[in-house]
Amino acid sequence: MRMSYREAVRAALHEALVADPRVFLMGEDVGRYGGSYAVSKGFYDEFGPERIRDAPLSELGFVGAGVGAALGGLRPVVEVMTVNFSLLALDQIVNMAAVYRHMSGGQFSVPVVIRMATGAGRQLGAQHSHSLENWYAHVPGLRVVAPATVADARGMLPAALAEPDPVVIFEHVGLYNVEEEVGDWACDLTHAAVRRPGSDVSIVTYGGSLPKALAAAATLASGGIDAEVLDLRVLRPLDREAIAASVRRTHRVVVVDEGWKTGSLAGEVVAGLAEECLYDLDAAPRRVCSAEVPIPYAKHLEDAALPSVDGIVAAVREVCGA
């Protein structure tokens, strides 16, 4: 079946709402408007205001309500319009949802799923375009995932709803219109995936940077460099075994991350490789990240600030001495 990333998320949500009366969707404009990215279009009329809850412009308030509902036995899916706005709810996510199991000695769990759009590329300006996934991947008690394919967009939500603890799902804004054939979409929330096997260099990435990495690998192949592309998929906990296994096959690595380089997830990946398989590397790792500026609005500046196919190709050629 061929579907778009948006349709995949919508199908997963619809299935969950039909199958489990404890599941409800809450967020800004998710009701009559149908969602900022049209994911919940038609849901309000089908399921009603009790299960499709339009929330006021208060991320702290409605994310906190979702945490409370999860503690009370429901299975809320909370949609935050963009990762930038989620910063208003950091207290509820980091100081509440993430710590209840630990602080209660295992007596309480918080099975809340928090979905949010992330990333740039649509000229939405600096307050709507950043990639802050690593901020959440830093926090024990959270599981953090970034579906980069249509199949993962379809399969990660039901897997997240089955988790007893909070799951944060990052959906890149540049992926909603991507269409792919989807067969088996069942997936776990643990393992990375090799999207393209290769022997000369590993390109490690996630989310909205995966299509760029695959395009770069195709360009490199025409020049005789066989690049493996590893999609992290799960940002916490990282599948360190898969990362190390890829690098042990290729002996070179470039990490692509739309976050800023300083304090980045890319830096965590490289640090882990230094600890676990430093002597398997035949060249120093490289990181391709966003420029250390607020993401610009102007299209040519936004493009210049983000990781690009050409930038990935150049980094790989440098690592390979080509």
Question: pLDDT tens-digit profile of 157-211?
Answer: 999 999 999 999 999 999 999 999 998 899 999 999 999 999 999 999 999 999 9
Task: Delimit the domains of the chain by residue range.
Answer: 2-181, 193-320
**Given this model, what pLDDT does residue 1 score?**
85
- Read off the pTM: 0.96
Hey, what are 244's tokens? 């190390």
Phi, psi (rounded to 5 degrees) for 228:
-90, 140
**Given this model, what pLDDT does residue 62 score?**
97
Alpha helices in 98-229 (DSSP H): 100-103, 133-137, 150-161, 210-222
Hey, what are 134's tokens? 């690593």
The single residue of 79, 128, 130, 133 carrying the catalytic annotation is 128
**Given this model, what pLDDT does residue 190 score?**
96
The single residue of 7, 28, 59, 79 carrying the catalytic annotation is 59
CATH number for the domain whose boundaries are 193-320:
3.40.50.920
**Given this model, what pLDDT does residue 183 score?**
87
Q: In the chain, which stretches have pLDDT less than 50?
A: none
Q: Nearest-CA neighbor of 166 among 207, 137, 208?
A: 137
276 is known as an active-site residue: no
- Is domain 2-181 annotated with CATH 3.40.50.970? yes
Interacting residues of 28 by C-beta distance below 8 A, sequence separation 6+ = 36, 54, 55, 56, 57, 62, 79, 80, 81
**Given this model, what pLDDT does residue 322 score?**
76
**Given this model, what pLDDT does residue 234 score?**
98
180 is known as an active-site residue: no
Domains 2-181 and 193-320 belong to one CATH topology: yes
Cα–Cα–Cα angle for 319, 266, 178, rounded to 5 degrees: 95
